[in-house]
Amino acid sequence: MNTVKPVSSAWDYLKQTLNLDGKCQKELDRNEIEGCAEFIVNHELVDFSKELVWQKLFNDTRNRITPNFWSRFEVTQNENSGYENYREAVKILNTDIKSLQQYFSLLDRLSGNEMPKSFDQYQAHLGAILLSQIPPKFECCVNFFYSRAFRAFMSLEKRNFNFDGDESGDVITHCSGCDQEIDQCECNVILDNCHNTNKALAEIGILEKLSVGMIHTLILTQIQSHVQDSCVGNFSSSQIEMLEKWLQNIIFRWLGIVYGEDYIQQDQVRKNFTQFLYHAYTHARIEQLFEIIIGYPESFPSVKDLQECLSRTQLKPILAQSLKTTLEARLLHQGATTEDILIAYVSAIRAFSVLDPTGVLLDVACDPIKQYLRHRGDTVRHIIHSLTDSSGELGGELELGRTGTAILDEESVAAVGDTEASTDWENWLPAPSDADPSKLWTGKKPGDIVPMLVNIYGSKSLFVKEYRKLLSDRLLLNLHFDTEEEIRNLEFLKIRFGENELHNCEVMLKDVADSKRINTHLQSVVHKPEFPISAMIISAQYWDQLKDKPMKLPIKIINQLEQYNQNYKTVKTSRSLHWVPQSGSVELELEFDNHRCVSFTVPPDLAAIISHFEDKEQWDLEELSQEMELPMSHLRRRVHVWQTHGVLQEISTDRFKVDENGPNFTGHKTEEDGLQVYWSYVVGMLTNLEALPVERIHQMLKMFTMQGSSGAECTLQQLKNFLDSKVKQQLLSFSSGMYRLPKP
C-alpha cells in the first residue's frame, strides 16, 4: 500500500494520477485506484476530489468524446457508407467510454457504493450531451444502418420460409438483403454487426435514446407497407389474423434483436405496435372502402376485419368523411346511372349492417347518396322496377318481409326503416354518442333494405303512387292477360305498405282478370263482330289517366266495336264501354292485286289508315287528315311507316295509293322494320347511359327523332316489341326492367 504523501504535494499527486490536465492517458489499475482513494480520504479531500473527477468526465465528454463520435458521420446517399459510418462511430464511442471506467470505479469507492452507481449517473449526462449536439446527417446514417439490417433479417426469414425458393418456386440466386449472390451472402454478418452495435450502445445506456425514434419510424413504415401490400385488391379473405401473426413473428422478433427480449415483453410496447397495425389496416381499408362496398357480399371478410379494427380505434369519423368524399367524386354525378347509384346504395346498406350494426355510420356516410337520389327524377321508378323484377338486384327483398315484418308507417320510414320501433320497447337502447341528435333514434340496425329505400323520400305514398303507374303500364302492355307475377308482387307489397294503400292496384289486377274472362265468354255469343276483338276493360277511376288522343275510326270498325259493346252489355247490364282508339294493337292481313298476302301487327291508327284505302283507291293527305281528324304532321309520319314497308306509294306530293306489288317480303312482319331507323339512336343512348327502361328510351326517341316530318312514330308497346326482338337476337340484354348493350 502506498504511503501517505505530504499535503503540500496533494494537488500534484491528484493532477498526475487522475490526469486532470489531460497530458497522460495511463489507466489506473485496481491497486492504484485503492491507493488514490485512501490518499483522498486521509487528506479529507473526498468532496473536492469527486467534484474534480466529475468535472474531468464532463469536460472529456463534451470536448473530446462527443465531437469524436459525431465526426464519424458524413453526408452520404450511399447506404453502405451510412451503414459503416454508424457502426464505426459506435465502436469508437464505446472504446472512449470504456477508457473512463477507472474514474467510475474511483467515484464509487469514494462514495462508499457497494454497487456501481457512478456510471448510471454518467449515462444520463452522456445522453444529454450527445442529443444536444446531434447533427442532421445522423438520422440518415441511422436509417441506413437499421434499414439494411432489417432487410437482411427479412431476407433470411424469407429464405428460411420458402426453402431457398421465391413465390413462383424458382430458386433464389441473388440475395435482396445484402445485394450479393447467395453463395456470398452477408446477411448474417450484417445481423451480427447490428447485434454488436446495439449491445455496445446498450452497455453505455444510450441505445434507446439515440435510436428508438428512428427505429420505431422504420418499424411503423414497414408495418404500413406490409399492410398495404397485403390488402391491395384482396377483399375476399380475412387479413387481420395473418397480420397479427406477421407482427408477432417478424416485427417483435426484430425488436428483440435490436433491444433485447425484455423490451418486447413490455405490455405497453406490444400494445402500441399492435394498435398501430389496426390503425394501418383501417386506413388501408378506408381508402378501398368504395370497392369493398361495391363488391359486397364477396368482400364480407374484409368488412368483418374492418369492423373489428373500428372497435379498437377511433377512426369512425374519418371513415365516414372519406366515404362521403369518395361517393361524391366517383358516384354522385351525371355520368353515373340511377341504377348504378341504387346498386351502390343497397350494397352499402348490406355492408354497413355488418360494419356498424347501430346504423350511425351508414346514416352519416351515405347521406349524400340519399340526397342525390332524392333529386333524380327516375329514382322511384328504378326502385320499383328493381323490387318487382325477380331477376333484378332487389328481386328477393320483397319476399324477405313476408314473415315477421310489420306494415310500414310514416314514423317507421322516418326512423331509418325500423319497423318495430313502437312495439319492441324492451330491447330499446340509447343512441350512440356519435349518432346525429337531429334524427330519431330507434336503437335498431338497418337490416331491411326496403324501408331504407323508402326513407330516401321519407314517405311511402310516393312509392305507392309510382308502383301504381308502373303496374298500369305493365298491364296495358300485357296483351296475353298474364298477371301471375304481378299478383305475387302485389301480395308482398301489401305486407310492406298495407292493403288500403294498394287497393287501386288490386282493382287493376281484377280488371285484367275480368277482361280475360269476358273476352273468352264473348267469343261464344251469336252476334259477334266480323273480326275477333279482345278488349282490356278497365275501371277508369282506378287507373292512371290514359292519353286518349282523338281519332275518328272508319265507320265499319266503329260498327264492329259497337257490336262488341252491345254484347258486353249482356254481361254487364248497367255498364257501357268507352273506347280509347289509339291504345292497343291490330293484327292485319293485307291482300294485294298480285294475290300476295302479308301479315302485320300495328297500332290502331296505322290499321285505320290502311282501312281507308279499301274504300278509296287514292287519298290526299289533307283529305285523309280531315276524315280521321288527325293533325297533318302526325298523319304524315304514320303514312310514312306504310310507305317504308312498300304498302303505300306517293304518286304526287302528299297523294298516296296502295302499291299494287305490295311489300318486297313474304310472311308475317311487324313494325320492326319501320323501327329499324331508330336502332342507331338506341345504341347511342345505351352506350352513353349504360342502362335504360323502355319508357325512358321512348321519351328520348320522341324528343330527338320522332318529331321529323318523315320519321316513323311508334307506341310504347311497339318499341318494347322492337327492343325485345333485339334481345332475342342477343343485340341487347334485359334485366331489372332495364335494357343494356351486351358486354363484349
Instruction: Please report whether residue 31 resides in a domain.
Output: yes
pLDDT at 708 over 50: no
- Tens of pLDDT, residues 330-352: 999 888 888 888 889 999 999 99
Domain termination site, one of 91, 107, 137 = 137
List all residues 6 or more positions away from 127 whose beta carbon is below 8 Å from its beta carbon. 205, 206, 209, 210
**Same-domain status, 600 and 718:** no
Mean pLDDT of 384-409: 65
Q: Classify burial at 6, counting beta carbons within 10 Å of its beta carbon; exposed 0-12, middle 13-18, buried 19 or more.
A: exposed
Domain termination site, one of 612, 642, 669 = 669
What is the spatial distance between Cα 184 and Cα 378, in angstroms, rounded to a whole number? 70
Q: Tell me, what CATH number does 608's domain have?
A: 3.30.230.130
Q: Tell me, what CATH number does 65's domain have?
A: 1.20.1310
pLDDT at 155 over 70: yes
**Same-domain status, 664 and 675:** no
Mean pLDDT of 86-113: 86
At residue 552, the 3 state secondary structure works out as coil
**Same-domain status, 9 and 114:** yes
pLDDT for 658: 92
Cβ(83)–Cβ(148) below 8 Å = yes
Grid cell 491497486 in the structure block, residue = 31
Mean pLDDT of 674-702: 76
What is the spatial distance between Cα 277 and Cα 223, in angstroms, rounded to a whole number? 7
Give the best-scoring range by mean pLDDT among 477-491, 575-589, 619-633. 619-633
C-alpha cell, 730: 342477343
**Same-domain status, 22 and 130:** yes
Cα angle, residue 458 at apex, residues 370 and 489 outer, rounded to 5°: 95
Q: Which residue has the higher pLDDT, 650 or 177?
A: 650
Instruction: Please report whether residue 325 resides in a domain.
Output: no
pLDDT at 616 over 70: yes
pLDDT at 146 over 70: yes
**Same-domain status, 660 and 729:** no
- Tens of pLDDT, residues 163-214: 444 555 566 677 887 888 888 888 889 888 888 888 888 888 888 888 888 8
**Same-domain status, 100 and 74:** yes
**Same-domain status, 51 and 93:** yes
* Whole-number average pLDDT of the chain: 81
- Tens of pLDDT, residues 220-244: 999 999 999 998 888 999 999 999 9
**Same-domain status, 8 and 83:** yes
Q: Would you say how long the chain is, in residues? A: 744
Cβ(310)–Cβ(319) below 8 Å = yes
Integer-rounded Cα Rg, in Å, for the chain is: 45
Q: Tell me, what CATH number does 689's domain have?
A: 1.10.10.10
Domain termination site, one of 669, 684, 710 = 669
Instruction: Please report whether residue 56 resides in a domain.
Output: yes
Instruction: Please report whether residue 90 resides in a domain.
Output: yes
What is the spatial distance between Cα 257 and Cα 270, in angstroms, rounded to a whole number? 15
Mean pLDDT of 416-429: 49
Instruction: Please report whether residue 52 resides in a domain.
Output: yes
- Tens of pLDDT, residues 22-78: 665 566 677 777 788 888 888 788 888 888 888 888 888 888 888 888 888 877 788
Residue 359 zone, left/alpha/beta (φ > 0; ψ -120 to 50; rest): left
The residue segments making up the domain with residue 60 are 3-137
**Same-domain status, 705 and 688:** yes
Residue 415's pLDDT band (cuts 50, 70, 90): very low
**Same-domain status, 686 and 656:** no
What is the spatial distance between Cα 137 and Cα 738, in angstroms, rounded to a whole number? 65
Q: Show contacts of 704-712: CB within 8 Å, 24+ apart.
A: 705/677, 705/678, 705/681, 706/637, 708/637, 709/633, 709/636, 709/637, 710/636, 710/637, 710/640, 711/637, 711/640, 711/677, 712/637, 712/640, 712/641, 712/644, 712/671, 712/674, 712/675, 712/677, 712/678
Q: Are strands 655-658 and 618-620 parallel, antiparallel or unpaired?
A: antiparallel
pTM: 0.70
- Tens of pLDDT, residues 488-511: 888 888 888 888 889 999 999 999
pLDDT cut 70: percent of the chain above it: 83
Residue 320's pLDDT band (cuts 50, 70, 90): very high
**Same-domain status, 610 and 631:** yes
- Tens of pLDDT, residues 562-585: 999 998 988 888 888 888 887 778
Domain total of the chain: 3
Instruction: Please report whether residue 483 resides in a domain.
Output: no
Cα angle, residue 475 at apex, residues 717 and 542 outer, rounded to 5°: 125
Instruction: Please report whether residue 712 resides in a domain.
Output: yes
pLDDT at 115 over 90: no
Residue 599's pLDDT band (cuts 50, 70, 90): confident
Mean pLDDT lowest for which of 276-280, 471-475, 528-532, 706-710? 706-710
pLDDT at 678 over 60: yes
**Same-domain status, 24 and 102:** yes
Instruction: Please report whether residue 439 resides in a domain.
Output: no
Terminal Cα distance for the chain, rounded: 102
